[in-house]
Amino acid sequence: MKNSLVVLTVLSIVSSLALAGNGYCDSRPSRREQQDCYQNAIESNVSLIKQNYQFLMASPKLTQQQKQQLQNDQAAWGNKVDGYCNGNLMCLYESTASRYMYLAGMASRK
């Protein structure tokens, strides 16, 4: 039950953040400003993803097996996003926001 509540909370936060980010960037007056907004948001999310990933990899609470699984998951996520989004900034933003929230959730439990 507790895990279900955490998952639902994280999913609702991710959805809210994605919608808020999309609305903010989409409200920019020009296409170029919209693209710049998404690019900046993506770069921020990537930085946060790296920080959470490094925090988790340095955590003594994770076993070597868990760290290896996290490493594999991170690589698989990167490959999937590259292929799926194919440079679409909104897709990249939503994917990085989702991944950040996933890793932040893991870090908060460790």
Task: Kindly report, residue by residue over 16-25, the tens digit of the pLDDT.
Answer: 544 455 688 9
**Which residue, chain included where needed, has tokens 């930085």?**
47
Burial class (CB in 10 A: 0-12, 13-18, 19+), 76: exposed
Report the C-alpha gap between 25 and 6 in whole angstroms.
Answer: 28
| Nearest C-alpha neighbor of 10 from the set 75, 70, 100 | 100
Task: Kindly report, residue by residue over 18-76, the tens digit of the pLDDT.
Answer: 445 568 898 989 999 999 999 999 999 999 999 999 999 999 999 999 999 999 999 99
Domains of the chain by residue range: 2-109
